[in-house]
């Protein structure tokens, strides 16, 4: 059997229409592509209304939400991963901010910075190497990384800088005194200066 879409006016098989119990024919008046385009347009034009409608549905159907979300996630996994990767490339400051916020929550560290506090310089202020925002790899040596200057403090204003991933990895959670001892050790050819003192 076939049905004509009232939007594009094309006759299509019934599989191209969503089933609707409240319709006399049992199917939506618009084909799936036309219906989806209309919904996308409505979401773009009225995002607040869409969010309110979605929130009301979520509250009314908590048992359906997790299953519907899980089904959508697995059915659209490649699309979701591609979107996340592109978003990270387009928004490096937001990405650094959001991952730091997540880490702070897991570790119980204070977090009070804004996205405006995350400024990615051209060069790493520690090693002087160029920082590359859009290379598509995560955690290469020249990737930007959000550093807490004083590791005893959280992600608070005045205590964060963007440096290279390599510099941040080298620094780790070491103190300045520990790093000085490490430099002395390296410069002495692997002979411990602490044991001699």
Q: What are the structural domains of the chain? A: 2-60 (no CATH), 92-183 (3.30.40.220)
Find the mean pLDDT for residues 159-168. 92
Name 119's Cβ contacts closer than 8 Å, sequence gap at least 6.
Answer: 93, 162
How many Cβ atoms from other residues are within 10 Å of residue 21's Cβ? 5
pLDDT, mean over the chain:
86
Is the Cβ–Cβ distance between 159 and 111 less than 8 Å?
no
The highest-confidence range among 50-59, 97-106, 176-185, by mean pLDDT, is 97-106
pLDDT given for residue 23 in this prediction:
84
- List % helix, strand, coil for the chain (3-state, nearest 5): 50, 15, 35
Find the mean pLDDT for residues 154-174. 90
Residue 114's H or E segment, with its range, is: none
How far apart CA 96 and CA 86 sit, in angstroms, is 14
Is the Cβ–Cβ distance between 162 and 131 less than 8 Å?
yes
Is the Cβ–Cβ distance between 184 and 193 less than 8 Å?
yes
Q: What token pair was written down for 49?
A: 């209304």
The model carries a pTM of 0.57
Alpha-carbon dihedral 94, 96, 97, 100, rounded to 10 degrees: 150
Q: How remote is the C-alpha of 61 from its chain's centroid?
A: 27
Q: Which residues pair with 48 in a beta bridge?
A: none
pLDDT surpassing 80 at residue 195? no
The share of the chain scoring above pLDDT 90, in percent, equals: 35
pLDDT surpassing 80 at residue 135? no
How far apart CA 147 and CA 123 sit, in angstroms, is 15
């Amino acid at each position: 059997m076939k049905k004509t879409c009232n939007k594009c006016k094309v006759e299509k098989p019934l599989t191209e229409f969503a089933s609707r119990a409240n319709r006399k024919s049992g199917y939506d008046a618009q084909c799936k592509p036309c219906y989806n385009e209309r919904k996308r347009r409505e979401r773009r034009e009225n995002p607040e209304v869409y969010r309110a409608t979605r929130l009301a549905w979520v509250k009314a159907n908590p048992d359906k939400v997790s299953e519907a979300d899980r089904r959508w996630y697995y059915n659209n996994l490649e699309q979701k991963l591609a979107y996340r990767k592109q978003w990270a490339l387009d928004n490096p400051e937001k990405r650094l901010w959001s991952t730091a916020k997540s880490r702070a929550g897991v570790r119980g560290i204070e977090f009070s910075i804004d996205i405006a506090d995350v400024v990615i310089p051209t060069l790493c202020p520690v090693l002087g190497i160029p920082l590359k925002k859009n290379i598509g790899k995560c955690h290469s040596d020249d990737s930007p990384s959000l550093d807490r200057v004083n590791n005893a403090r959280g992600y608070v204003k005045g205590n964060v800088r963007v440096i290279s991933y390599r510099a941040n990895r080298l620094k780790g959670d070491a103190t300045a005194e520990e790093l000085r001892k490490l430099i002395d050790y390296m410069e002495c050819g692997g002979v411990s200066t602490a044991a001699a003192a």
